[in-house]
Structure 1
Amino acid sequence: MEKYEGYMFSALCSSNLLVSCLLFSAVTREQREPYMDEVFHVPQAQRYCAGRFSEWDPMITTLPGLYLASVGVIRPVVWLADLTGAVVCSTAMLRFVNLLFNAGTLYLLYLLLCKLHPHDKTTASAARRVLSALALSAFPVLYFFNFLYYTDAGSTFFVLFAYLMTSYGCHKASALLSGVAVLFRQTNVVWAAFCAGTLLAAKMDEAWRAEHAKKRDDSSSSYQVPLSVGGARRVLRFALSFLTSGARVKGFLVEAWPYAAVGAAFAAFVLLNGGIVVGDRTKHEASFNAPQLLYFLSFALFFSAPATLCHRRALRFLHALRMRPLLFLSLGALLVAAVWRFTYEHEYLLADNRHYTFYVWSRVFRRHALVRYALVPAYVYAAWHFLDVLATSSRRSLFWILAFVTCVAAATVPQRLLEFRYFIVPYLVYRVHMPVPAMPRVLLEMALYAAVNAATLYIFLNKTFHWPEDSATQRFMW
């Protein structure tokens, strides 16, 4: 069976790369010159290709991980083929580096699915696992940016690689890869903290089970904490006792010190740099944009619908509403207050009509002042759905869920700009922890992603427009 699965995965990897290369050729043929943020990234990478590592564009806000990785891939080609760096470090070649990251991401997703769902050993499960990895590697927002020279492909690759190493207990390798991920995007330090939080959650879960087993005189107890207010209070009390126990904290730090080293290095960078952003900071200020988490939950609900939506879950939600109406009313009131007090409109969101978020905001959120409040019931369901999927489907402990939700909030809430690219990593981590769906659901998920990808690439290539004050061709994109 494993041999059959390996052959099938290899065939799909080859097919995926072939299709991606054909699409890459179409994109590069139509958009030869750097577009959008590429006008900053491409020249900077070309400076590195030429060996001018001391030159830096002050408009670039991220660390040079993408450019260093590109040079690491391209320079050997220059040496082996005896070509000039100017030829090999073209816009097209730099973009192609992201296709290589995409191929690696597909393999990482497959390994994560195998590691997180080891009990699925049948041939049918193998097929579903392989197709699920293929579908997730074609996740629309991520897949689109494989064809442009952006940081998303490399950033996602190294975050997933770090998490895979964490799941295998290779914490030094995970911390090193997390550090590389931070070089692609500074906010990836949140996912370095998540890898450490996963280790902490495992330690806490082990201590919780041992403590509860003693109380019940049952060493095989697998007591699960319910997702309730009472359960949250018990977990909070236990967490405080765990974190104030010197022996337990010492045992955790013995294993987690590589992540602490990454955190210390990042803190030193922030201190010396005077902030997280490297270059232009005027348009990248942190804020408490609480609704950003609600946008992510809605985003996750839509793209996970083929794998998660079912009538049983809807009935369970209605039952939860009947059982705890005050809890849901309180949550709804809290979300209304968050939307009222902490909704921000970034100037890019209002001015740049090349991004889909411009139209989402202008045609939905700005249609009427009450629209953003009318969406609160949908947010309530999206939040419940997200937690229900994690609690009932992911086979993770409540401590892991708390760590994950905390990191999702940390990765989204400080972002003032609504940007779907910020949702890629949290969504993929969320999705790989779901049980591998049944084959019809996997195929439906693939069809949804393929349809969205086809639509976005078609619009990008064919629905061009011009601004009155600028003759350059403009294109719609994520």
Structure 2
Amino acid sequence: MGRLAVAAAVAAWAIPIAALVDSIVPDPYMDEIFHVPQAQHYCRGDFLTWDPMITTPPGLYYISLAYLASLFPGAWAIKVAEAFDPLCTTALLRSTNVIMAMVCGVLVHDLLLCIKPGIGKTKATAYAILVALYPVHWFFTFLYYTDVASLASVLAMYLSCLKKRFWVSALFGALSILFRQTNVIWMIFFAANGAIAYVQDLSLSDCLSDENSEPTDKSRTEVSDRDSKVSALGLRRRRTNHPISERGVVSGSTKSHTSFTEELFDIGFKIWNSKCKVLITFAPFAIVLVAFGAFIIWNGGIVLGAKEAHVVSPHFAQLLYFGLVSATALLPWHFTPGRVSDLFHWCRKNKTFSSLAMLIALGLSFVAVHLFSIAHPYLLADNRHYTFYIWRKVIQARWMMKYILIPLYVYSWFSVINILGKLLRS
């Protein structure tokens, strides 16, 4: 029922707003001037024509073809291009992302239940609907861009990986790369995350089998519950409160590991000891990664078109922007007197560590802002993006403005990390 409620809620606001957008802006808008004609070529059965200004693979156009074919199976069945071509209007192509937005909402709902099984379906439904309203995602729901379909495939890849369906996850990873090449980073992250959970599960199973060579039904249930819980969390959690850890059997050691460095060595040691099993289990991701590497060599770069405007550059300031945008999206949570007070008390409790971390963060942020703040040519040329005005009216308003924002970037990251740390420890 929760999935249906999320899909219905997303559809309730997405469909009317999409209709409103189509009535006000019926013609292709911004980057749609490239994507819509390209999709229409595919609708006519012309798969060889390619706009050299399009940088991403044709995954979105194939999804749109499948979607339109499901709406009008008769036109597809008779394979008459002239009959199918008129169906590929701007409005119908845009509606692809409305469907993908509903899929994203359902996937977020399932991810919440997987990551936090105790959250309950009601809260998971409410949170999923709220996440669907996230501004960076919300705006692209009504345009024919790759963003929403790309996000849907990434979420599906993550959910499949958490459920240990690694072949399915790798297939979704390949699909996500067909939407946007940079999704290969997410695939590597999820695969690494899954590998860590996998070796932890192997270690726990080995420990239990050593203690009891013939486990009872109860112990099997405990292992199963523990495996699902660890896998659902995805991100590595310290299990110092776990009874096995308390008995000192984690990775064969007589003491529990608490420091981050020791945890890294512990994880690396476990992966090395189980390298054959890990390689076999996560081979699907390796296959996709090798294929992607071959594509880069064949293509001469990551992007397909407009390569001169999409050169790989060290734009480290983007990490700072990301922290601020993430904190701003949850403004009442991060920017309140109570939150500032909590961070201040945390710094006072850990004076040496927090002072050193603050100095390093400020120093690295200054270097990133001073040396690695890059203005993309398209950002400066198109005044129809919010980022155009943020760059011109805020970051570049005065020569020192980008430096004044550094403490805000650092505060945002410290607040996000602090809250994530509390959630992981809870």
Q: What's the TM-score bracket when you normalise by the shorter of the two chains?
A: 0.7 to 0.9
Q: Which has the higher contact order (CA 8 A, sep 6+)?
A: 1
1:286 aligns to 2:316 (yes or no): no
Moved more, 317-326 or 126-135: 317-326
How much does 1:55 deviate? 1.2
Per the normalisation by structure 2, the TM-score is 0.82
Q: Structure 2 matches for 1:281-320, cutoff 5 A?
A: 281-306=307-332, 313-320=339-346
Give 1:235's match in structure 2, choosing from 263, 279, 298.
263
Q: How far apart, CA to CA, are the structure 2 residues paired with 1:28 and 1:59?
A: 24
Matched with 2:216 is: none
How much does 1:349 deviate? 2.1
Q: How far apart, CA to CA, are the structure 2 residues paired with 1:348 and 1:74?
A: 31
- 1:84 aligned counterpart, secondary structure: helix
Give 1:133's match in structure 2, choosing from 120, 124, 128.
128
Give 1:331's match in structure 2, choosing from 361, 379, 385.
361
User: Would the aligned equivalents of 1:78 and 1:84 in 2 still touch at CA under 8 Å?
Assistant: no
1:64 aligns to 2:65 (yes or no): no
One-letter code aligned to 1:167:
L
1:389 aligns to 2:424 (yes or no): no
1:153 aligns to 2:148 (yes or no): yes
CA RMSD of aligned residues (A): 2.8
1:117 aligns to 2:116 (yes or no): yes
Segments of structure 2 that go 5 or more residues without pairing to the other structure are: 208-238
Q: Are residues 348 and 150 of structure 1, via their aligned partners in 2, closer, same or farther at CA, if it must alter by over 3 Å?
A: same
Q: Structure 2 matches for 1:2-401, cutoff 5 A?
A: 6=1, 10-11=4-5, 13-80=7-74, 84-121=83-120, 126-203=121-198, 205=200, 217-219=247-249, 231-242=259-270, 245=272, 247-306=273-332, 313-322=339-348, 323-324=351-352, 325-394=355-424
Q: Are residues 156 and 225 of structure 1, via their aligned partners in 2, closer, same or farther at CA, if it must alter by over 3 Å?
A: farther
Matched with 2:231 is: none
User: Would the aligned equivalents of 2:103 and 2:152 in 1 still touch at CA under 8 Å?
Assistant: yes
User: Would the aligned equivalents of 2:383 and 2:389 in 1 still touch at CA under 8 Å?
Assistant: yes
Q: How far apart, CA to CA, are the structure 2 residues paired with 1:326 and 1:264?
A: 40
User: Would the aligned equivalents of 2:101 and 2:132 in 1 still touch at CA under 8 Å?
Assistant: yes
One-letter code aligned to 1:275:
G
Identity of aligned residues (%): 34
Moved more, 83-92 or 33-42: 83-92
How much does 1:15 deviate? 4.0
- 1:272 aligned counterpart, secondary structure: helix
One-letter code aligned to 1:368:
R
- 1:104 aligned counterpart, secondary structure: helix
Q: How far apart, CA to CA, are the structure 2 residues paired with 1:47 and 1:194?
A: 35
User: Would the aligned equivalents of 2:245 and 2:256 in 1 still touch at CA under 8 Å?
Assistant: no
Deviations 1:194-236 (A, max 9, x none): 2201112214555888798889644599x9866xxxx343234
Matched with 2:215 is: none
One-letter code aligned to 2:174:
G
How much does 1:254 deviate? 2.0
- 1:186 aligned counterpart, secondary structure: coil
- Report the count of equivalent residues: 380
User: Would the aligned equivalents of 2:54 and 2:304 in 1 still touch at CA under 8 Å?
Assistant: yes
User: Would the aligned equivalents of 1:162 and 1:178 in 2 still touch at CA under 8 Å?
Assistant: yes
Deviations 1:345-394 (A, max 9, x none): 22222232111111111111112221111122112211212222222214
Q: How far apart, CA to CA, are the structure 2 residues paired with 1:366 and 1:390?
A: 32
User: Would the aligned equivalents of 2:41 and 2:47 in 1 still touch at CA under 8 Å?
Assistant: yes
One-letter code aligned to 1:133:
A
Segments of structure 1 that go 5 or more residues without pairing to the other structure are: 1-5, 396-434, 436-478
User: Would the aligned equivalents of 1:49 and 1:75 in 2 still touch at CA under 8 Å?
Assistant: no
Q: Are residues 61 and 232 of structure 1, via their aligned partners in 2, closer, same or farther at CA, if it must alter by over 3 Å?
A: same
One-letter code aligned to 2:158:
Y
Q: Are residues 394 and 236 of structure 1, via their aligned partners in 2, closer, same or farther at CA, if it must alter by over 3 Å?
A: closer
- 1:119 aligned counterpart, secondary structure: helix
